[in-house]
Structure 1
Amino acid sequence: MVQAGRPAVTPDGPVNPPIVLSSTLHAGGEHGYMRDWNATLDAFEQALGALDGGKCTVFSSGMAAANAVFDLFPQGSAVVASQFSYTGVTVRLKELHELGRIQLRLVDITDDVAVEKAISGDGEPASWVWIETPTNPMMEICDIEATATVARHFGAYLAVDSTFMTPIRQRPLELGAHIVMHSATKGIAGHSDLLMGALVTNDSALAAKIIDRRVLLGAVPSAFDSYLALRGLRTLAVRIDKAESNAQIIAERLANHPKVSAVYYPGLGGHKNADVAKRQTDGPGFMLSFIVDGDAEDAERVCQAIKLVTYATSLGGVETLMERRRRWPSENVAVPENLIRMSVGIENPNDIWADLDQALNSTGSVNPQTQPKIGY
C-alpha cells in the first residue's frame, strides 16, 4: 500500500508518480487515449488492485463504477440485490427494473436461506448478485463466502460494494466474489476532496469488459484526482485504525445513552451476524448508525446541534460526519425517520463524544432545511 504504484528507482528520480496531465497519447502504443490508460490513473490502480488482490479500473465516481457493472447485466435477466443499499444504487436498480432491463429481486442479505432462494429463483436463477456489506445505512452483514458459493453454483456473478470497509478490513475477492466495488471518494481517498469509484476483479475476462465500459461510457477520473486518491491510500491503514478505534468507543457510549434507542455497529456483541463480520473482516470499521429516542424532528435537532462533528452526507474522511438519512426523499422508507448515520473520523474520541452528548441532550429549535435532491 505504501510502496505500490511508485515509479521505478532511478538516480534523482521522483519517489512519487507525477501527475500526467495529458489526455492525448502518441500513436504506436496499445492504449491510444486517456479513456483507456493514463500513467497517474495506472499508479493508483496498481496500488488499489494490489490491496484487493485483482485488476483495478478506476472511474469518475462510485456511481459511475456501479453503473459500469449494471451495464453488464444481460437484458431482462434477474438481479438479486440488498434490500438496504446506498440510495443512488437503489434508485438506479429500480429504474432498470421499471424499464424492463432487469428483474430486480431485493432480499434480506443477513438471511442465507432467503439469499439462496432469491438467487436460485425457483428454476430461474439470477445472472448477477449485488450486495453491500455492511449495508448503507442499516449496517447489515452479509456472509460473502456463503453468498459467493451459492452464486457460483447457479452461474451468477457476485459484486460486492465494500466501500464501508475498504480493503484494509475486507477483501471480497478472497471470499469468492467476482467484483469488488469501492466509492474511492470515501475511506480510500479519505479527505473529502475528490470523487472517484473503483472496480477490482481477479477474472481477466471481466477485467477486459470493465475497462471497455469505461472507454465506451466515458466515466474517466482526472489525473489530479487520481494523484490525490493515491496519496490518501498511502495512509489508509493508520486512518482506519484510528477511526475504527474511535467508532468502537462512540458505539459503546451511544449504546448506554438514555436518548438512544438502538445502535448498529458490527463491533457490538449484540449486532446481528457479528460473528460473520468477525470471520470475514479484520475489524468492525468506522461506520455506525443509531436511532434517536423520539421522532424525525428529535433526530434532526441532534444533527443541527452538533458543533465539532459535521452535519453532512458522505463518509470516510478524516473528519467525523453524521446525518439523518431520511432527509433524502429517495431514501428507503424502511429506514427509520429517526436514524442517524455516522462516519467516525480521527479526532480525539472524547471530543467527538462530548459534542455528540451535548447534541443528544439539546432542547433547541429545529431550523427548516432546503429539500435535498435524490440522495448521496
Structure 2
Amino acid sequence: MQNRDNNVKDRQSTILYVSMSPMDKNIDTFVASLGGVTDSHTGGLVPAVHMGVTHVLIPGEAAIGYARGGAVEGSLFERMMVGLDGGAAALGFVSGASAAQALLATFAKGSHIVLEERGYYEFRGILMRAAEARGLAVETVDLCDTEAVAKALRPGQTALIWSELPTNPEWRMPDIRRLSELGRNAGTRLLVDATAATPYHCRPIEHGADIVLHSATKYLNGHGDLTAGALVVADPNLREKLIAIRTENGTVLSPMQEWLLLRGLRTLAVRMQRASASAMAIAEWLAAHQRVHTVHYPGLPGHPQFELASRQYGRGFGAMLSFRVSDSTCAAKITNATTVFRQSTSLGSTESLIEHRAMTEGEGTLCPDDLIRLSIGLEDPRDLIEDLRRAMS
C-alpha cells in the first residue's frame, strides 16, 4: 500500500510548470515555448493531455477536485493568457459566447450595460437576448463617439461598457484609455472584446480596460478546428465569482480542447506577423483600385482613427479588413468569383475568407450592402491580390 500511495502522489505531481515570468521575454519567445513549459515528471516539452474527470483524495494534500471546476491554480492556457494580456487572472471557456454569458451572470438584475452599436451583429444579438432574460438593460452606443458614451452612462446603475477592438466589420477603433476614464468616473468597468486585435497587437488592460474577452476559436487557436473563449481580468476578486458561474454552467474547457488551443497558441506571433503584413499589402492595393471607393483598415493613413490605432496597436494592424464597391450586386459578384479566397464566414484561421457581409447578416443588418469583408490567412499575398484582381475585373 505504501508503494501505491507514493505512485498516486507521483501522478498528482505530474504537472506543467512555466519557467518564465509572464511576458519577461518578447511575445514571440513566450508563445513559441509556452512560457518555457516543461512536464515536471517526464521533462517533456509538449504538454500532456490529462483526461481524468475526478482525482484520488490524498490525506494532507490539497484536493484537485472535479474537472467541471477547472484547475484550482489555473490551467496552463489560463496562465498563458495572464502573461499575454497582462491581467491578474484568466479563465478559459468552451466558447467566446459562454465566456460572455458568464460575465453577464455576475450583474444584478436592473444593471445597465453600454454596448457598441456597430460591432459584430451575431454577438450583439446573443448579448441582448441574454441580457433581456436576466433583466439587464442594454443601450447601444457608438463607442468611438466618447461624448455619446458620456451621456449614456448612468452612475450607480451602469455596470459595464462593452467595447470591441476594432469594431467588426468596419474596423473602427475606440479610444480604450478614454473609455476607461469615463468608466472610472461613473464607477463602471470597461470590457474590451479583443478577438480581432489579439494580444500580439494590443493589450487593452495596459490602456485601462478592466476585462478582456477573446473568442479563442479565432486567432488564439488559429486553425479553425475548435471553439473556445477566454476572459482576462484586472481585478483578481472577479475570478472566484466567474469560476463559480462557469462550474455551475459546465462551460470549462475540456483537456483536449485546451491541448489543441495551446498547440495553436505556439504559432500566434508568426501567424499574426504574416497575416497582418499581408492585410496591409492588400489594403494598399485595394485603396488604389478604381472599383473600390472605401477601404476599412486601421493601418491605412486615411483611416479615421489611424493615429489612435498607431498608439493602441503594436506590431502591425491586424489581419481583418473590409472594402466597399459600387453596390450590392457588384459585391456579390466579386465574392462569388474568387478562388483562392474561400467564401465563408468566421475569421482567424490559416485560410483567407471572403464574404458579402450584409448578405451574411441578413434582415436588420446595419452593415452597408456593398461591403466585402476579408479575413487574411497565411497564403502568399501575391496570390490573394491576383485572386481579387481577377474577381474584380
TM exceeds 0.5? yes
Correspondence for 1:374? none
Deviates more, 1:40-49 or 1:336-345: 40-49
Distance 1:336 1:237, change over 3 A: same
Q: Could you say if the C-alpha distance between residues 359 and 151 of structure 1 is closer, same or farther in structure 2, counting changes exceeding 3 Å? A: same
**Structure 2: distance between partners of 1:9 and 1:16:** 8
| Maintained 8 Å contact 2:283/2:321 | yes
Q: 1:214 to 1:342 in 2, by over 3 A?
A: same
Q: Note the residue ranges of structure 2 that are not aligned, 5 or more in a row.
A: 1-30
Match of 2:248 among 209, 216, 219: 216
1:12-51 equivalences under 5 Å are 13-27=43-57, 29-38=62-71, 42-51=75-84
Larger radius of gyration: 2
Q: 1:3 aligns with which of 13, 30, 33?
A: 33
Q: In the aligned structure 2, how far is the partner of 1:240 from the partner of 1:64? A: 25
Corresponding residue number in structure 2 for 1:233 = 265
Shift of 1:41: 7.8
Q: TM-score, normalised by structure 1?
A: 0.90
Aligned counterparts of 1:208 and 1:330: Cα–Cα separation in 2:
39
Backbone CA RMSD of aligned residues: 2.1
2:135 to 86, 101, 104: 101
Aligned partners of 1:78 and 1:66: how far apart in 2?
A: 15
Shift of 1:44: 1.4
- Residues 118-160 of structure 1 show CA distances to partners (whole Å, capped at 9, x for unaligned) of 22x3x66511110101011111110111101111111111111
Given the alignment, which residue of 162, 165, 169 partners 1:133? 165
In structure 2, C-alpha distance between the alignment counterparts of 1:331 and 1:199, rounded to whole Å: 31
Aligned residue type for 1:34: A
- Report what 1:90 is aligned to: 124
Percent identical residues:
38
Partner of 2:216: 184
Alpha-carbon separation, structure 2, partners of 1:83 and 1:169 = 23
C-alpha distance after superposition, 1:237-273 (max 9, x if no partner): 1111110100000001111112222110000111111
Alpha-carbon deviation of 1:88?
A: 2.6
**Residue of 100, 114, 121 corresponding to 2:148:** 114
Letter in 2 for 1:174: E
Could you say what secondary structure the match of 1:147 adopts? helix
Is 2:337 aligned against 1:305?
A: yes
Q: 1:77 aligned to 111, 114, 117, which one?
A: 111
Gaps of 5+ in 1: 362-376
CA distance in 2, matches of 1:98, 1:330: 22
The amino acid that maps onto 2:203 is R
Q: Does 1:292 align with 2:325?
A: yes
Equivalent in 305, 312, 328 of residue 273 of structure 1:
305
Partner SS for 1:303: helix
Counterpart Cα distance in 1 of 2:290 and 2:385: 14
State how far apart, in whole Å, the 2-side matches of 1:169 and 1:332 are: 32
How many residues end up aligned between the 2 structures? 358
Residues 98 and 199 of structure 1: CA distance in aligned 2, closer, same or farther (over 3 Å): closer
Is residue 110–residue 140 contact of structure 1 (8 Å, CA) maintained in 2? Answer: yes
Contact in 1 for aligned 2:39/2:47 (Cα 8 Å): no
User: Residue 69 of structure 1 aligns to which amino acid in structure 2?
Assistant: L
Aligned partner letter, 2:281:
I
> Does structure 1 retain, via aligned residues, the 8 Å contact 2:205–2:211?
yes
- 1:127 match: secondary structure: strand
Amino acid at match of 1:307: T
